[in-house]
Amino acid sequence: MLATLSIVLPIFALIFTGWLARRLGALGPQATRELNRFVVYLALPALLFDIVANASFDELWQPGFILAFGGGCLIIYLATLTLRLVQSARLADAAIDGLNASYANTGYMGFPLMLAAFGEAGLPPTLIATIITVCAIFAVAIVLIESSTQEGAGPMDVARKTARALLTNPLLIAPFAGAIVLITGWTLPTPIEVYLDFLGSAASPCALIALGLFLAGTTEAGGQKPAQQWPVMATLSGLKLIGQPLITWLIAAPLLGLPEFAVHAAVLIAALPTGTGSFMLAEFYGREARLTGQTVLVTTILSIATISAYLSWIGISPG
């Protein structure tokens, strides 16, 4: 548990830094949105492009792992989306809640945790999971959110406006451009690589600080009161920390019969807490950011126990 705590502590420290900066007046009420826009328009696209462009087909082509982890993500996402729509949530809010329940914190927690648990062998599956999470699942959510914003227009208008919004969205353009670089085999010049490293490395820290800034604010996002959001947050947290790893295990072990390492890698990554990607979209599109922020915090805290319990159960002590 101490090893897991040491990986999680920097996340809390960055969130607290943002919270403290807002409370002390070092950053004003507009800082949350502006910092989040920096992440959405600059830092995260650079990170997505860099991840995809520098991947290798040998690392990425693990069909069993892709089916297990990707299937777990998709099933939980669609189940959460359906549940929230049945509960009368708007499509855009339901799309973000789907991320709250399926968007694993692969970038900030996945790599150090898998490295500690499995050594270098844990890095390729983490890379695959990162691409699935931040590209595929993220893309599905953006499509649904953009479609939701066009409500009231005719079908053709909705399709045209949604397509235009998607084609100009940097979070979709960046991984697509990275895929072109990967397929063509073009090697990025060193100055460009350094530039992408600098810009992309700011994505996670800035997103966490933006979350702290938001939580320190006095204005609630959306229309629900905090007390009304707790049951929803508890459901989303349960789906993320228990539902997703369970579904992933069912696909990986009984259904596909994957090797033991692939099963444990898929389940462990699926058990990671909610990443900041869902918060960034919620804040950017003006949705239920408070609910999302609470889910990120709660799942991160609880994951210290759940991940440590799983590692203990499979007989691994990360060091």
Supply the DSSP string of 168-226, one letter for each residue. T-HHHHHHHHHHHHHHHTPPPPHHHHHHHHHHHTTHHHHHHHHHHHHHH-SSPSSS--H
pLDDT of residue 196: 92
pLDDT of 311 strictly over 80: yes
Residue type, 120: E
Query: Which domains does the chain show, CATH number per domain?
Result: 2-313 (1.20.1530)
Give the pLDDT confidence of 2-37 residue by residue, as tens digits.
666 666 677 778 888 988 998 888 888 888 888 878
Of the pLDDT bands very low, low, confident and very high (cuts 50, 70, 90), residue 66 is very high
CA-nearest of 177, 149, 134, 178 to 44 is 134
Higher-confidence position of 55 and 66: 66
Over range 285-306, report the average pLDDT: 84
The pTM (predicted TM-score) of the whole model is: 0.78
Q: What pLDDT, on a 0 to 100 scale, did the predictor assign at position 288?
A: 74
The total number of residues written for the chain in this structure: 319
Q: Residue 219 has what pLDDT?
A: 42
pLDDT at 111 over 80: no
User: How far apart, in whole angstroms, are the C-alpha atoms of residue 255 and residue 258?
Assistant: 9
* pLDDT tens figures, 223-271: 445 556 788 899 999 999 999 999 999 999 999 999 999 999 999 999 9
> Rounded to 5, what percent of the chain is helix, strand, coil?
80, 0, 20
The whole-angstrom separation of Cα 155 and Cα 160 is 9
> How far is it, in rounded angstroms, from Cα 105 to Cα 117?
16
Give the pLDDT score at 220: 41
Distance, C-alpha 131 to centroid of its chain: 10
Give yes or no for residue 132 having a pLDDT over 60. Answer: yes
Average pLDDT over residues 296-314: 86
User: Residue 161: CA atoms inside 13 Å, Cβ hemisphere, count?
Assistant: 15
